[in-house]
Amino acid sequence: MPLLLLDSWLAPAPDKVRVGWLGRHRYAHRGLHDNATPENSLAAFTAAIAQGMGIECDVQRSGDGQAMVFHDWELDRLTAEKGPVAQRNAAALTQILLKGSNDRVPTLREVLGLIRGRAPLLIEIKSKKGYGVEASCLAVLRVLEGYQGPHAVMSFDPRVGQWFAKHAPRTVRGLVMSEEHDRNLLGRARRHLWLWLARPDFLAYDVRDLPSRFAGAQRARGLPVLTWTVRTPELRVVAGEYADAPIAEGAGVK
């Protein structure tokens, strides 16, 4: 009970009208991708829009500080190139083909220009130890200026929510969470601490952890809970019972 009281004080629930759109959609994880359509590609986002789905994408910075839509820190898995994304500038990255397609690595600005408000967008800002994620937050915010479509930012890193709460409080912000390998007492305390730091408007929770006492308590007090990655019909049932919306791919897309 004391922790829930602290949660309500340090990370108050958002206005329901402001975040109501989050639970009214299904989200295509990295776009609607398959063997012929690469993840985080303009083609994958176009396919999601055609299916009436929302879109989830990943963003990290290029070497010259631009917001690029790409998941991995290295180019190796998804392109024929090798090495860190951060060692290439935006102009060079946008010339790199994604494997098995004619799509190239897109900028966030290109993605927004494609969507044009036709689908809600979840932007996961990537972070890791030693990474200056605040610069990524600024790069994303600069691109979002003037964009009118429904959108939100989210991250595993609570500094992202903290930054947007301070510099762009009108931007809907989420905290991505997983309890994997972190289910002990220290892990439970850490989840509350991250919540207090990020002050999120919603949670994006690992579907493998549902039902979760922590996620359920936050949902009960007014934070929408989205869940990732829903890859099977069985996980879709779990998402329907314990979350407000799925972030899905493959067989998890209904």
What is the rounded CA–CA span in Å between residue 60 and residue 133? 9
| Residue 3: per-residue pLDDT | 87
Residue type present at position 15: D
Q: Which pLDDT tens digit goes with each residue over 125-156?
A: 999 999 999 999 999 999 999 999 999 999 99
What is the rounded CA–CA span in Å between residue 196 and residue 213? 17
Q: Whole-angstrom distance between the N-terminal and C-terminal Cα of the chain?
A: 38
Q: Where are the alpha helices (DSSP H) in the chain?
A: 2-10, 16-19, 42-50, 90-93, 108-115, 133-144, 158-167, 185-198, 213-220, 233-242
Q: Is the pLDDT of residue 26 over 70?
A: yes
User: What's the whole-model pTM score?
Assistant: 0.97
| Residue 61: per-residue pLDDT | 98
Beta pairing partners, 84? 74
Calculate the dihedral angle through the C-alpha atoms of 161, 165, 167, 172, rounding to the nearest 10 degrees.
80
Q: Is the pLDDT of residue 254 over 90?
A: no
Give the total number of structural domains in the chain: 1
Q: Which pLDDT tens digit goes with each residue over 189-222?
A: 999 999 999 999 999 999 999 999 999 999 999 9
Q: Is the pLDDT of residue 1 over 80?
A: no
Q: In the numeric block, which tokens belong to residue 74? A: 């290295």
Query: How many Cα atoms are found within 13 Å in the side-chain-facing hemisphere of 133?
Result: 20
Q: Which pLDDT tens digit goes with each residue over 42-77?
A: 999 999 999 999 999 999 999 999 999 999 999 999
Quote the domain boundaries for residue 64. Answer: 2-252
Q: Is the pLDDT of residue 91 over 70?
A: yes
Q: For the chain, how big is the Rg over CA atoms in Å?
A: 17
Share of the chain above pLDDT 90, in %: 96
Q: Which of 189, 218, 192, 190 is CA-nearest to residue 204?
A: 218
Q: Which of 34, 59, 73, 92 is CA-nearest to residue 249?
A: 34
> Which DSSP helix (H) or strand (E) runs through 123?
strand 121-125
Tell me the CATH number at 194: 3.20.20.190
